[in-house]
Structure 1
Amino acid sequence: MESKKEMRELFCFSNYKSITKFVNNLEKFFLQKKNTYLCSSNSIDMEQIDKTYLNEIKNVDNVNVYFGKTLEELKCVISDDGFREHEIFIKFSGPRKYEITKVNLPHLPYQDEVYNSINEIIDTFRNHVINLSNYFFELEQIDQFCSIMEPLHPTYKDEYRKIALDERTWLHIEVTPDGAAKNIYLIGQSEAWNDKLQKGFLTWDHDKSIIDNIISTFDISSFSNKHHIILSEPVTTMLEKQHCAICLCEELPDNPSVPQPICQNNACGVYYHRSCLYEWLLASAGGRPPAFGVATGSCPTCCHPIACSLLEK
């Protein structure tokens, strides 16, 4: 009973003004006990949470460190030169065994490695953040000046954006880690928009920002106020709760996406969730697996030829 009382007092975080003070008290407690307990009441021995581990947490410089649900789980917050804060989640698996469990950035090529120390992870992560400076800039410019249809809640982890050009046409664009544009195509494309895009590919200037190239490609400056909707506006002013014509829902609980104008028939104007349309086309084809992962068939609304792949973002 006494040990449980001590543990409750130890983990009363309102008693601490800094993580250093908490770690110091935690270290003293461990030195007095043969075993200790996690907040979840699961036991852990001294080989897992040892003095070296606690000292390393205390000696992390210029980085905010937080414990997760257990003492083996840490979250480190690193700030870059643009005053952005980036989170990296770390798991302590044993002496000199640290793993990255989650990063809110594009996948690290070294994310699956095992590290010797927290500082080694932080140094690697900080270098990765520095190398992504152009990536951050391009995404921020797109988010600021364009009406983003997807992702619903854009983050730096999302390497793509789907931008509204008009009520039925979206521009899909991906940003590489060095800040270049790739895999650019139209969704629900019209002939006029497609012609502009094809000409834009020929004059795309890699010395300019992505948003400058988009403005130049689609001649945004010549838009009338009525159609100049690519500039930042609340999405609801452009599209009043578009619903999927198959499931009749705006959002799916297990799929954070909105219906898209996938059909290329200009007279159709119907929106579908990509997953709903994919399943519809599969069922219409008798459930046969599609070639190369692309389901084809007819639009459920206008019967225009249509194709859909779940591999697209």
Structure 2
Amino acid sequence: MHRLNEVCPLLVPQDSRRKRFCGFISVGGVEFRIRIELSPEDTNSLKNTRIDCEWRLAHLLRGSQEIIQKKLELCSNLASFLQEFKSLIEPLVSSRREFQKTTDMSFHAHLAGEINKIGWDRVKSVDASFSSIQLKAWDSRQRLHVLTVKIPKQYPAVALSCLADLPLAFEPHIPEDKDSYLSNLYSEFEYSLAQYEDFWDLFDELDEKTWIIEPEHRNRSSTMRRIAIGTNSSVQIDVDPINPRGIPECRFLGPDHVVSQVRQRMGETLELWNAQLSLFTNLQTLMGIDFPSPQVTNKEDFSMDCGICYAYRLDGKTPDKVCDNSRCGRFYHQACLYEWLRGLATCRQSFGTLFGECPYCEQPITIKMLG
């Protein structure tokens, strides 16, 4: 693989098996976009390799298909074929007037040099135009993290922009030496991962030992967990990623007669919070309960469908408004209940709150007006 980088440093593997490559081949100062796909069955032969070229290169190579196929059959590896391929293209480029002027290669050459510093094994993906690249990094727990970098054509004169799956905004320092901006960016990303490791450790324990109702698709940037604490009841916690062992913000969801005792007990025992213990242990201790375990219960036992639309998720949201009648306890989406109450002739409004009756038990129920 090292020799392939030397022959075509701008050709990037697109899969872990290194069967698909995409990028640029540079010949005579001209860069051509190219895509190569090796046959997954032929491990020792290139004869069934597929090569897709941009229109300029395809135009140059008209009538050369048999020669290319012969070179594929004779070459033992991709690097040696690409060397032969470039030798075939070079006289074609030099003989054409439109390629007499050398294309400015500073952008791609500079970018390839910076990626070499980081390591091509850290590249997860790169688009064909080199305008976006995804870099991989691992924290000390071997959790994979991805940094997406947007690369302007004016780079390095114009700074990069990036997106990282972190709980707080990633705002890297812009170095004075812009020639190493990408490698410095990656180093700062690795440093940021170390800052959040305790936060992720605490959330990983919650994810493993409790039923997480929300978010449905968890990622490393989320600072919220809604945890099932019983049938029709849950607690939503919001954790400070800078101080993950501090007391989180807690919001109890469920019938008041169910959650009021847990809420009251937690309020009375806050002084027992021990920052040396995990979120999981502290929450169970202060609430005086054992969280339902995924090892012995089913998530469906705690995932209540909306009593109006009969669905669990609506626009990504779960039912979190409940009737406080102990004989009812129906759950509703905020939006569903809001529209239902608005349609009642008996509904009344006061100070941003709608007052009406539960669709099932007809006992009083209220909801904040939606903005």
**Equivalences for residues 218-257 of structure 1 within 5 A:** 218-220=287-289, 229-230=292-293, 232-233=295-296, 235-239=298-302, 242-252=304-314, 255-257=315-317
* Change beyond 3 A, Cα 1:142–1:301: same
* Change beyond 3 A, Cα 1:62–1:69: closer
Gaps of 5+ in 2: 1-10, 36-52, 57-102
* Change beyond 3 A, Cα 1:272–1:256: same
Deviation at 1:175, TM superposition (A): 1.6
Q: Deviations along 1:78-98, whole A, 9 cap, x unmatched?
A: 001011111111110121221
* Change beyond 3 A, Cα 1:300–1:67: same
2:169 corresponds in structure 1 to 108
2:267 corresponds in structure 1 to 198
Q: Deviations along 1:187-223, whole A, 9 cap, x unmatched?
A: 11423222222223343223321111112122236xx
1:171 corresponds in structure 2 to 235
Question: Contact 2:164 / 2:170 at 8 angstroms: preserved in 1?
Answer: no
Q: Distance in 2 between matches of 1:260 and 1:277?
A: 10
Q: Distance in 2 between matches of 1:68 and 1:150?
A: 33
- DSSP-derived class of the 1:50 partner: helix
- DSSP-derived class of the 1:220 partner: coil
Deviation at 1:159, TM superposition (A): 0.9
* Change beyond 3 A, Cα 1:174–1:56: same
Q: Distance in 2 between matches of 1:129 and 1:234?
A: 33
- DSSP-derived class of the 1:54 partner: helix
Q: Distance in 1 between matches of 2:325 and 2:367?
A: 12
Task: Give the number of equivalent residue pairs.
Answer: 283
- DSSP-derived class of the 1:135 partner: helix
Whether 1:54 and 2:112 are equivalent positions in the alignment is: yes
2:248 corresponds in structure 1 to 182
Deviation at 1:134, TM superposition (A): 1.2
Q: Distance in 2 between matches of 1:22 and 1:69?
A: 6
Whether 1:161 and 2:161 are equivalent positions in the alignment is: no
* Change beyond 3 A, Cα 1:56–1:210: same
* Change beyond 3 A, Cα 1:198–1:232: farther
- DSSP-derived class of the 2:269 partner: helix
Q: Deviations along 1:266-299, whole A, 9 cap, x unmatched?
A: 33321222343355556669xx9996xx654334
Q: Which amino acid aligns with 1:274?
A: Q
Q: Distance in 2 between matches of 1:265 and 1:120?
A: 59
Q: Which amino acid aligns with 1:236?
A: K
* Change beyond 3 A, Cα 1:61–1:275: farther
Deviation at 1:260, TM superposition (A): 2.9
Query: Normalising by the residue count of structure 1, what TM-score does the alignment of the two structures yield?
Result: 0.73
Question: Contact 1:38 / 1:71 at 8 angstroms: preserved in 2?
Answer: no
2:367 corresponds in structure 1 to 307
* Change beyond 3 A, Cα 1:149–1:42: farther
Deviation at 1:53, TM superposition (A): 1.3
Question: Contact 1:106 / 1:158 at 8 angstroms: preserved in 2?
Answer: yes
Q: Which amino acid aligns with 1:306?
A: T
Q: Which amino acid aligns with 1:260?
A: D
Deviation at 1:309, TM superposition (A): 7.5
From the CA coordinates, give the structure whose radius of gyration is larger: 2
- DSSP-derived class of the 2:320 partner: coil
User: How large is the Cα RMSD of the aligned pairs?
Assistant: 4.0
2:320 corresponds in structure 1 to 260
**Equivalences for residues 1-313 of structure 1 within 5 A:** 17=18, 26=24, 28-29=26-27, 32-33=29-30, 36-37=32-33, 46=104, 49-61=107-119, 64-65=122-123, 66-68=125-127, 70-93=129-152, 94-96=154-156, 97-100=159-162, 102-110=163-171, 116=178, 117-178=181-242, 179=244, 180-188=246-254, 189=256, 190=258, 191-220=260-289, 229-230=292-293, 232-233=295-296, 235-239=298-302, 242-252=304-314, 255-280=315-340, 295-298=353-356, 299-302=358-361, 303-308=363-368
* Change beyond 3 A, Cα 1:277–1:232: farther
Deviates more, 1:52-61 or 1:167-176: 52-61
